[in-house]
Amino acid sequence: MLLERPSTDYFFQKKNFSNLLVKGVPLAIVFTCQLSGRINSSVFCERIGHFLCRVKPKHSEPVLLALDGHLSHTRSTDLTDTATATHINTTCVPPHTTHTLQSIDKTLFVWVLQHHCSEQQRTHLRSGGRSVTHCDFSELLETAYLNAHTGENVVNDFEQMEFIQRLLEYKNGTASPAPCGGKDNISNGASGRREVTKPHFKKRDDDDDAK
């Protein structure tokens, strides 16, 4: 089974698309214009088509696509039908855990954001105070991507992607027991929903003495 990550999508909060918006766009970046500036089910299904062109899953080599549980993913029957017909297995990570399970979002893309902000400031200064517009976004993003995609950052990303490591261990039958003595911090609350309990930290004796 192949583990893949789809291309990165950026949304302009605009109605009409223009080629000026994608001047100097980096590879594997897809831009979409939406009045809301957010993804929806129809746009996500279009992105799945772009994903299929790059990955090309087969019956003997299915693809596992990890999603973050957004409504555009979980409430789309078109996505379910497309995934079934094209040999894509989908899984949604639990809520409020993407910062841990999708570590690439808090490592690589953090650097992209920082470099992009720096490039905006440099462009603003070099142009004598000219405002940075939507038409400058893609070109500045290319420079930010090249500066962020260093060998050190890429290695660091994959070392921190615990979610991918656990999936590979589960597939190979070598998954280790759950942490905290074989018990997790997830339980069924009174409402029937799964709740995450906070870990209990024992108070140190010297803290009591200090009081």
- Give how far the C-alpha of residue 112 lies from the chain's centroid of Cα atoms, to the nearest Å: 13
DSSP 8-state secondary structure symbol assigned to residue 193: S
pLDDT digits (tens, 9 = 90+) for 81-129: 888 888 988 888 776 776 666 666 666 777 788 888 888 888 888 878 7
φ, ψ dihedrals at 171, nearest 5°:
-65, -40
The DSSP result for 44-106, as a single string, is: HHHHHHHHHHHH---SSS-EEEEE---HHHHT-HHHHHHHHHTTEEEEEPPTT-HHHHSTHHH
Question: If DSSP codes are grouped into helix, strand and coil, which group holds residue 165?
Answer: helix
Q: Which residue has the higher pLDDT, 54 or 118?
A: 118
Confidence at residue 140, expressed as pLDDT on a 0 to 100 scale: 79
Q: Judge whether residue 181 has pLDDT over 50.
A: no
Q: Judge whether residue 155 has pLDDT over 60.
A: yes
Most confidently predicted of 18-22, 30-34, 37-41, 87-91: 87-91
pTM: 0.48
The mean predicted confidence, pLDDT, of the chain is 68
Judge whether 141 and 109 are in contact, CB under 8 Å: no
Q: Judge whether residue 63 has pLDDT over 80.
A: yes
Confidence at residue 34, expressed as pLDDT on a 0 to 100 scale: 67
Section 1-7 average pLDDT? 43
Q: Which residue has the higher pLDDT, 200 or 11?
A: 11
Confidence at residue 27, expressed as pLDDT on a 0 to 100 scale: 58
Provide, for the chain, the percentages of residues in helix, strand and coil under a 3-state DSSP scheme, each rounded to the nearest 5: 50, 15, 40
Name the percent of the chain lying above pLDDT 70: 49
Q: Is 141 exposed, middle or buried (0-12, 13-18, 19+ CB in 10 A)?
A: buried
Q: Which residue has the higher pLDDT, 30 or 6?
A: 30
